[in-house]
Amino acid sequence: MKYSKEQIVWIFLRFALGFTLFWAFLDKLFGLGRATAPDKSWLAGGSPTAGFLKNAVQGPFADFYHSLAGNPVVDWLFMLGLLLIGLALILGIGMKIAGYAGTLLMLLMWASLLFPKNNPILDEHIIYLLVFLGFTSVKAGHWFGLGKWWVNTGLVKKYPFLE
C-alpha cells in the first residue's frame, strides 16, 4: 500500500503515542526500573498513582489530586486507561474512543501540574491532547492498522461510538 506523507505522519504519531502509554503501563505493572522501581511496581503491591499524586502535583487542584493518591479505583482506572488507549493506538482500533479517552487523560494530567514550570499554560500534555483530538477526526487506524477491519465488525456497527 502507498500512503501519503500526511498518513505516514499520523501512523508514526499513532504508534509513538500508543507505545508511550503502553510502555508506561508495563513499567508501572512490572517495575521495569525506568520510572518505576521493581519494588514499587503494581504487582509488588505499589500504587501506580500514589507517588505522583502525593509528591508531584501542584497548583489549584493539588488537594483534590492528593485525595486520590493510592485509591485502588483510581489505580485501576489509570492502568486500564494506559493499557487500553495504548493498545488501541498501536492496533489502530477504537480510535475515536481512544482519542477522547486520551484527551481526557491528558487534560487531567495537565490540570494536576498547573501551572507548568517551563510555560505557564502549555506543556507536553496539551500537545498530546491535541494529537489525541486529531485521532478522533482522521482515519489513522485505517492506515497500517486494523481500523478498516474494526469498523466493519458487528460490535462497532451496533455501537458506532467504538469506532
pLDDT digits (tens, 9 = 90+) for 74-116: 999 999 999 999 999 999 999 999 999 999 999 999 999 998 8
**How far apart, in Å, are the Cα atoms of 23 and each of 4, 30, 86?**
28, 10, 8
Domain boundaries, the chain: 5-162
Cis preceding-peptide flag for 115 (omega within 30 of 0): yes
pTM here?
Answer: 0.93
pLDDT in tens, 50-76: 999 999 999 999 999 999 999 999 999
Q: Is the pLDDT of residue 18 over 90?
A: yes
